[in-house]
Structure 1
């Protein structure tokens, strides 16, 4: 039995969590899928999967072997694409992750064009509003906006996201409009807990230069979407990515504050596990997304 094929089957079983799902995806019988796994276990002399009638889990050896399989299969695809000088289109499943708001706004709208351009790529998309372990989850590529949490990953900047200060009218009628950053110290501010110094807000302006203010507030969250909802509910003043607040500003549900002051933008990063070769499917997706960001707003896209 071909070892590379068995490794590919094992990888999909590990990611899908069942033999039946892989059988449907590959048009193989479940018994054929099982034979590939059995052949690998016999070859390695160890059990890779714990199976029961209801669930399937990787053993410790299986977890370690899975990471080797991902690396080897990706390197194999990269070698074919490289030697073929771009003539071989990328193939396989791209396991992708981003937050739900960014995905709805930017990734889902561009997937049709991407999949039409690369018909042999499948997308397995994890929309998570929390940071996930890319290696443990078998994720090929994550798109992350703002501060990065894991320095062991490779990050490639593909764009920038402007940030703005907003609140809803009910809050402002009750508590007043801040006219300078210093005024924020008297307000309920909504805290983004993923920042290193979440209560220190930094501004700049042509007239006043750089300013910082220590804010306070009774609500903090690790999700930008939670901050949006809190601002809409009148809980306080928030700093949001402009695209996050765009629709609410247009409909009058939020009000833009401190228009003469700027905040440093958030980087938009393509993040992937460290490896010697970056798979073609990952490279092509990053390039496609950068073009899409540039078409939507040239100020968002990072060239290079």
Structure 2
């Protein structure tokens, strides 16, 4: 049966709503209003004569008809995306929309400075840059690439190391005047920690105590937060000690506004990684952006 373009578009909106779990997030991803997304799904339900979604104030749930439609439609749309991929491979020129997600602090302090250069080099590639401190599911939310400072959790993804990322434990001079200066990791038990709440163990910190030996300390937590800019401000205000990527507090360390704690016991070095879905062949736009990032980070290393 022939499917009109508008009907195909309506189904694509429905699939996006299901994948993202809300009309608001789907509307943002599709660059339409929430009302428009809701209207499209209502129109689809009327045309099919079946309710597709159970709607409550807190969540959306698929009906039996909705599950049937989603199962077939999602796979069909994936095949269309693969067809686009194959055509793009034939042309060989980087072009089209590239969707990238990164933590807010990394996007603002590192990534944003390179975007103008990339656009000048690849003017046919447009960017949808999503800065968020939540752990984005790049497959479900259809991102081409994530920039992360973390280990890889999903085996269906590929991580390419862009640069080393040393971390540092810091506090303000005022904090150390009030609470004293720790000399060893064990001394931290008498201090106050500020934790990054997105990670599984916000106040469990590791420090190297010699060759091949690590000490793990669980810091008493005074504040937990999911945003590094806020955590840095709390640290500057003397509310506790916090772990940061060194690049994020380099200026404050240089100016003396923050001071490194227990420098003889460094925390583990992390990596800045480019994370993307496993594919036999990458789209030219993604290949171009990966190559560009590797080049820029290598230059700055």
Asked if structure 1 preserves the Cα contact closer than 8 Å seen for 2:94 and 2:125, the reply is yes
Q: CA deviation at 1:121?
A: 1.0
Aligned with 1:167 (options 171, 175, 189): 171
TM-score (norm 2): 0.72
Q: What are the within-5 Å matches in structure 2 for residues 18-97 of structure 1? A: 67-68=74-75, 71-80=78-87, 82-83=89-90, 88-97=92-101
CA deviation map 1:183-214 (0-9, x unaligned): 11110112233444443322125589533333
Alignment partner of 2:183: what SS? coil
Q: Aligned pair 1:126/2:133, yes or no? A: no
Alignment partner of 1:135: what SS? coil
State the match for 1:249 in structure 2.
253
Q: CA deviation at 1:240?
A: 0.7
Q: Aligned pair 1:280/2:284, yes or no? A: yes
TM-score (norm 1): 0.72
Q: CA deviation at 1:270?
A: 1.7
Structure 1 residues 193, 90: closer, same or farther in 2, change over 3 A?
Answer: same
Q: Aligned pair 1:218/2:222, yes or no? A: yes
Q: Aligned pair 1:263/2:270, yes or no? A: no
Alignment partner of 2:285: what SS? helix
Structure 1 residues 278, 293: closer, same or farther in 2, change over 3 A?
Answer: same
Q: CA deviation at 1:233?
A: 2.1
State the match for 1:29 in structure 2.
none
Q: Report the Cα distance in structure 1 between the residues aligned to 2:230 and 2:154, rounded to whole angstroms.
A: 22
RMSD: 3.9
Q: CA deviation at 1:9?
A: 11
Gaps of 5+ in 2: 17-24, 33-39, 54-59
